[in-house]
């Protein structure tokens, strides 16, 4: 029988963030992952402190960044790899009215650290932006696909990863411990993304799930080394490759890319990018989204040693390390969660 402090189910952004906290506090753990959830892998990976549709601040943006960026820097050092690419994000402005709205928002104290007060003139001949670009500061991109790949490889090399489906029905819940196959643990954290809908202990949590599809294009003429947001994002990922996304679909809960989404993304991209490009990849995944746009974190109502870490939505790169630390503080120090993220807000 192997003894650990934690079993963690899932290996996306939420799970990796929690594993990093466990490592920092020298807790032992085993991760189960069957690679069935793809939302973290297909995510654009942007950390963007501004809601670019409304020019408003992301919830707890500074607090999240202050925790997330050192966490990713630590992973880069630990694994001797590059995952964090810090760069500005540019919002394509569509009119004089949008320029004025940008200036008004940038003058607000809460947004001042994140929005440049100068409109950047577009100099890229293949970007159509006659009203200029608003620059988002303290932003960037985490290569989520590479992060998950190298992190899982490291977990595996240290015998911390079991690559198979977790059988919830085989979990034995005792008063002060859990037993699963040949593993004995004090706590279990379910970080399964949309897969939580199949979890008998937390399937009641109001996780809606929103399908997102992204394209990877090759555009040698574009010569863009940052990210531009218009009707869709176009994000440089190097070697003349760009990520384009994403769609939002509430009914289809499959990870299968669709022709409809491909056509939608290409059509929107062509409204502001006017060079030739080739679609070289097309991926889909289900984002773990919640109706109030806040994560789902907390303890099972009946079982004291069962926990959930989910609902990171489309901003998992930013919010993951923050909520992981909050959950750890709840488990180990009995520190209450923020009401905004506690699953108890849906207890009724």
Domain boundaries, the chain: 2-43+145-207+291-346, 88-138, 213-287
Evaluate whether 242 touches 280 at the Cβ level (below 8 Å): no
Q: State how far the alpha carbon of 253 is from the alpha carbons of 13, 110, 128, 194, 285, in Å.
A: 20, 36, 34, 9, 8
Q: Is the pTM of this model over 0.85?
A: yes
Distance CA 223, CA 243 (A): 14
Is the CATH code 3.90.1150.10 the one for domain 213-287? no
For every residue of 54-81, DSSP letters joined together read TTEEPTTHHHHHHHHHHHHHHHHHHHT-
Cis peptide before 147 (omega within 30 of 0): no
Instruction: Pick left, alpha or beta for residue 221 (phi over 0 → left; psi -120 to 50 → alpha; otherwise beta).
Output: alpha
Tokens of 115: 């929005």
Evaluate whether 246 touches 261 at the Cβ level (below 8 Å): no
Distance CA 148, CA 182 (A): 26
Confidence at residue 348, expressed as pLDDT on a 0 to 100 scale: 64
What does the pLDDT profile of the chain (348 residues) look like in tens digits?
Answer: 899 999 999 999 999 999 999 999 999 999 999 987 777 767 788 999 999 988 999 999 999 999 999 999 999 999 999 999 999 899 999 999 999 999 999 999 999 999 999 999 999 999 999 999 999 999 999 999 999 999 999 999 999 999 999 999 999 999 889 999 999 999 999 999 999 999 999 988 999 889 999 999 999 999 999 999 999 999 999 999 999 989 999 899 999 999 999 999 999 999 999 999 999 999 999 999 998 999 999 999 999 999 999 999 888 999 999 999 999 999 999 999 999 999 999 876
Which residues lie below 8 Å from residue 263, measured CB to CB, with a gap of 6+?
Answer: none
Confidence at residue 175, expressed as pLDDT on a 0 to 100 scale: 86
Strands 140-142, 84-86: pairing kind: antiparallel
Which residues lie below 8 Å from residue 29, measured CB to CB, with a gap of 6+?
Answer: 4, 5, 6, 7, 8, 19, 22, 160
Tokens of 101: 């709205």
Which residues lie below 8 Å from residue 174, measured CB to CB, with a gap of 6+?
Answer: none
CA 17 to chain centre: 10
Evaluate whether 88 touches 136 at the Cβ level (below 8 Å): yes
Which of the four CATH numbers 3.30.565.10, 3.40.50.2020, 3.30.1490.20, 3.50.50.60 does domain 2-43+145-207+291-346 have? 3.50.50.60
């Amino acid at each position: 029988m192997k003894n650990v402090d934690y079993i963690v189910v899932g290996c996306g952004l939420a799970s990796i963030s929690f594993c990093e906290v466990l490592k920092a506090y020298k807790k032992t753990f085993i991760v189960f992952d069957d690679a069935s959830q793809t939302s973290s892998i297909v995510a654009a990976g942007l950390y963007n402190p501004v809601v670019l549709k409304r020019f408003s601040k992301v919830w707890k943006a500074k607090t999240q960044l202050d925790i997330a960026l050192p966490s990713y820097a630590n992973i880069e050092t630990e694994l001797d790899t590059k995952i964090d690419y810090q760069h500005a994000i540019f919002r394509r402005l569509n009119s004089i009215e949008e320029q004025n709205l940008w200036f008004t928002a940038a003058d607000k104290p809460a947004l001042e650290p994140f929005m440049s007060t100068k409109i950047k003139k577009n100099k890229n001949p293949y970007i159509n932006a006659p009203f200029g670009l608003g620059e988002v500061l303290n932003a960037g991109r985490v290569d989520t696909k590479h992060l998950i790949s190298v992190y899982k490889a490291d977990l595996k090399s240290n015998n911390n990863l079991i690559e198979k489906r977790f059988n919830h029905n085989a979990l034995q819940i005792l008063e002060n411990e859990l037993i699963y196959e040949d593993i004995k643990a004090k706590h279990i954290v379910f970080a399964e993304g949309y897969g939580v809908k199949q979890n008998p202990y937390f399937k009641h949590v109001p996780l809606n799930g929103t399908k997102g599809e992204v394209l990877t294009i090759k555009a040698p003429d574009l010569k863009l080394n940052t990210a531009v947001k218009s009707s869709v994002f176009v994000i440089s990922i190097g070697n003349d490759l760009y990520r384009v996304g994403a769609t939002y679909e509430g009914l289809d809960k499959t990870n299968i890319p669709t022709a409809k989404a491909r056509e939608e993304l290409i059509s929107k991209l062509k409204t502001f990018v006017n060079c030739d490009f080739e679609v070289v990849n097309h991926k889909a995944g289900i984002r773990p989204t919640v109706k109030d746009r806040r994560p789902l974190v907390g303890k099972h109502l009946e079982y004291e040693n069962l926990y959930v870490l989910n609902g990171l939505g489309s901003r998992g790169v930013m919010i993951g390390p923050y909520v992981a630390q909050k959950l750890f503080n709840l488990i180990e120090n009995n520190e209450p969660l923020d009401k905004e993220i506690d699953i108890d807000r849906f207890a009724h």
